[in-house]
């Protein structure tokens, strides 16, 4: 069940260069979402932006939900200007979430950049049996470093410029140790997802968190599809998580 | 002066069917109703027009399929749909639990396909209207055929022959110079109502890559950006026919609905609004309850 709600912003703070964590009051939602689900947010007023913009649910408290976003264009720029007490119109929770694995198979979360925003809710609900592979452009982009090092067994970092962790891309970093894992969850730009898929041994069960432009966010426009072995599927409805073997890359 | 208080709650008679109120939902913006029923009481609608259905299943266009433009939505879904057999088997049964009048939206590649789809549905299911999509700009040849008045008249005539008591609504293409040529052609063919407007053909580029944003390159524009065009067309068609007019294009609130009534529409369909604001959608539906 999803609803449209007008919520109140409780905090909106920068958490890295160009990154914001925005929290809002939504006690029902905080109790009733699955990891990897998202909310579709109306940014600005009137037709300043006609369509809603999707953001993963990052984290929650008893009363609040937060999203983590990076400024990309005008919409996220506008969202970064929201202040405590402002109201925000949201639709959610949307998408098919992930039931956190109860088994203790060796698991890796592999993220690039703002992809970190989609996996925290999952990390919080998983047994502490996972490693994090985290790729960023540079040091300034790293979000909640301390918290992640407590959540994960080990955090493997890399950056494009070598300013934090190894210099290089996260798919290469992961490839070196891939044989240690049985299951991976991957989130980031499409090119990064594909690079991880390409180096991922077939023995690993892989799940990819995908993105596409969205209009409705709940399955009625057919706008947000991804090509799979059983035809086009809606990222907002059947997704956003798909098995690596299911996606036509 | 149009009596808006009355108009807003008036049942709408088209052919042999009386639709309970003038607020309907537009094709391509409700899929087949299931997802929307989770958040909206479909029973309160005057009608629901299902996703354009073709004879064979269609997988649709590759992504990106949509992009926002100023006050508008540009889309090239490419008529992804399960085909008429899929519709009958998997989609229509779900809608039986609701009392909302169900209108099929039919997209044929040529005249005979429109006829075949109607015949197939008539054998298997009960629906309260056939809306002929004579205007889908995203699909090969759709545009060329739908701009020809002779073709429009001929298709409507053929469908009327097999439609029995079920009203036939001609959704003509707005991508022409003189909309009344098409509305007259549809009327001559025996249409029970005219639906307008469908999306306007448009395009958007990514200026960094200098590539079109939509994989299909060209798409259909909907939303508030097209409302003045829609209002103008409803107005012009109203001057030349007494057939019921089903108006749509960019409706976002009660003001916009009223503007369509004033221009000459008997009822309206809400499209892009369904993607953005369910609260507003509910409010418009509530106003339509007498
Ligand atoms: C299910 C889902 C979950 C998401 N979760 C998050 C999240 O947790 N945090 C976050 O920061 N972002 C997330 N996003 C992406 C976010 O929705 C976009 O960054 C945002 O809509 C950009 O809006 P804008 O107006 O700032 O940028 P725009 O002006 O719309 O675009 C700026 C640039 O980003 C590209 N772009 C925008 N949206 C998309 C998209 N959906 N897919 C591919 N490219 C795009 C455009 O091509 C353009 O180059 C998610 C997207 C989806 C589909
Ligand atoms: C994503 C999308 C898909 C659509 N698909 C169809 C379709 O299958 N058949 C059709 O006749 N019209 C289709 N339309 C057009 C709408 O029914 C409507 O005519 C148009 O969007 C104008 O109304 P609006 O501005 O309120 O959305 C589609 C529109 C959108 C936005
Ligand atoms: S965004 Fe509309 S179907 Fe996914």
A243 within 8 A of A233, measured Cβ to Cβ: no
- Chain B touched by A215 (CB under 8 Å): yes
Instruction: Using the predicted structure, report yes or no on whether residue A128 has a pLDDT greater than 80.
Output: no
Give the pairing type, strands A107-112 and A183-187: parallel
**Cα dist from A141 to A22, A116, B75, B270, whole Å:** 17, 11, 34, 42
Contact at CB, B80 and A222, closer than 8 angstroms: yes
Residue B160 host element (H or E): helix B149-162
| Amino acid B142: pLDDT | 45
Of A102, A46, A91, the C-alpha closest to A67 is: A91
Residues 6+ apart with CB under 8 A from B273: B251, B252, B280, B281
| Amino acid A28: pLDDT | 94
pLDDT, mean of residues B216-223:
95
**What is the three-class DSSP state of A114?**
helix
| Amino acid B276: pLDDT | 96
Residues of B with CB under 8 A from a CB of A: 28-31, 35-36, 38-39, 51, 59-60, 62-68, 71-73, 75, 77, 80, 223-224, 252, 272, 274-279
Query: B136 catalytic, yes or no?
Result: yes
User: What phi and psi values does residue A3 have, to the nearest 5 degrees?
Assistant: -140, 165
- What does the pLDDT look like over A24-34, one tens digit per residue? 999 999 999 99
pLDDT, mean of residues B243-268:
98
CB contacts < 8 Å between A and B, how many?
A: 92
Instruction: Using the predicted structure, report yes or no on whether residue B196 has a pLDDT greater than 50.
Output: yes
**What is the three-class DSSP state of B132?**
strand
Q: Where in chain B are the domains?
A: 4-61+78-200+223-287
CATH architecture of B4-61+78-200+223-287: Alpha-Beta Barrel (3.20)
Q: How far is CA B245 from the centre of its chain?
A: 12
Instruction: Using the predicted structure, report yes or no on whether residue A83 has a pLDDT greater than 50.
Output: yes
Complex ipTM, two decimals?
0.94
| Amino acid B140: pLDDT | 54
| Amino acid A102: pLDDT | 77
pTM to 2 decimal places = 0.95
| Amino acid B143: pLDDT | 52
pLDDT, mean of residues B164-171:
96
B267 within 8 A of B196, measured Cβ to Cβ: no
Does A226 contact ligand 3 (Cβ within 6 A)? no
Banded pLDDT at B126 (limits 50, 70, 90): confident
**Cα dist from B168 to A50, A82, B130, B191, B217, whole Å:** 32, 49, 5, 6, 32
- What does the pLDDT look like over B93-117, one tens digit per residue? 999 999 999 999 999 988 899 999 9
Banded pLDDT at A99 (limits 50, 70, 90): confident
Contact at CB, A47 and B252, closer than 8 angstroms: yes
């Amino acid at each position: 069940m999803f609803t449209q709600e007008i919520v109140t912003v409780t905090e909106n703070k920068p958490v890295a260069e160009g990154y914001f964590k925005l929290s809002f009051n939504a006690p029902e939602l905080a109790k009733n979402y699955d990891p990897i689900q998202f909310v579709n947010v109306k940014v600005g007023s009137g037709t300043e932006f006609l369509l809603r913009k999707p953001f993963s649910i990052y984290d929650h408290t008893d009363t609040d939900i937060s999203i983590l976003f990076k400024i990309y264009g005008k919409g996220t720029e506008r969202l970064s200007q929201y202040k405590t007490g402002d109201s925000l119109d949201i639709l959610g929770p949307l998408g098919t979430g992930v039931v956190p694995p109860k088994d203790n198979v060796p698991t890796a979360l592999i993220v690039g950049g703002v992809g970190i925003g989609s996996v925290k809710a999952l990390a919080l609900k998983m047994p502490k049996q996972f490693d994090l592979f985290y790729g960023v452009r540079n040091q300034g982009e790293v979000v909640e470093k301390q918290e992640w090092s407590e959540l994960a067994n080990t955090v493997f970092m890399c950056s494009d410029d070598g300013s934090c962790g190894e210099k290089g891309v996260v798919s290469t970093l992961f490839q070196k140790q891939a044989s240690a894992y049985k299951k991976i969850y991957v989130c980031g730009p499409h090119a990064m997802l594909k690079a991880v898929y390409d180096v991922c041994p077939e023995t690993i069960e892989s799940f990819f968190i995908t993105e596409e432009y969205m209009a409705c966010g709940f399955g009625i426009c057919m706008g947000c599809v991804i090509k799979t072995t059983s035809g086009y599927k809606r990222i907002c409805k059947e997704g956003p998580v798909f098995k690596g073997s299911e996606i036509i890359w | 002066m149009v009596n808006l208080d009355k108009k807003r709650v008036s049942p709408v008679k088209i052919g042999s069917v009386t639709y309970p109120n003038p607020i309907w939902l537009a094709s391509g913006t409700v899929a087949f109703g299931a997802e929307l029923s989770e958040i909206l009481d479909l029973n309160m609608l005057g009608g629901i027009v299902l996703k354009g259905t073709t004879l064979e299943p269609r997988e649709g266009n590759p992504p990106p399929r949509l992009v926002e433009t100023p006050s508008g939505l540009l889309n090239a879904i490419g008529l992804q749909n399960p085909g008429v057999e899929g519709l009958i088997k998997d989609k229509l049964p779900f809608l039986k639990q609701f009392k909302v009048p169900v209108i099929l939206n039919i997209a044929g590649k040529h005249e005979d396909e429109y006829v075949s789809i109607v015949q197939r549905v008539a054998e298997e299911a009960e629906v309260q209207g056939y809306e002929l999509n004579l205007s889908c700009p995203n699909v090969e040849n759709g545009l060329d055929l739908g701009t020809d008045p002779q073709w429009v008249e001929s298709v409507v005539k053929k469908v009327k022959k097999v439609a029995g008591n079920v009203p036939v609504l001609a959704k003509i293409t707005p991508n022409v110079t003189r909309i009344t040529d098409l509305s007259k052609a549809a009327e001559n063919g025996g249409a029970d109502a005219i639906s307008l407007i469908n999306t306007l053909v448009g395009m958007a580029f990514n200026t960094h890559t200098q590539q079109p944003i939509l994989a299909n390159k060209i798409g259909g524009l909907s939303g508030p950006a097209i409302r003045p065009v829609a209002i103008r067309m409803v107005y012009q068609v109203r001057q030349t026919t007494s057939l019921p007019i089903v108006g749509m294009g960019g409706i976002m609130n009660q003001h916009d609905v009223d503007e369509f009534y004033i221009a000459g529409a008997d009822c309206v369909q809400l499209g892009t609004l369904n993607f953005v604001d369910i609260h507003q959608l509910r409010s418009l539906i509530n106003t339509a309850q007498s």
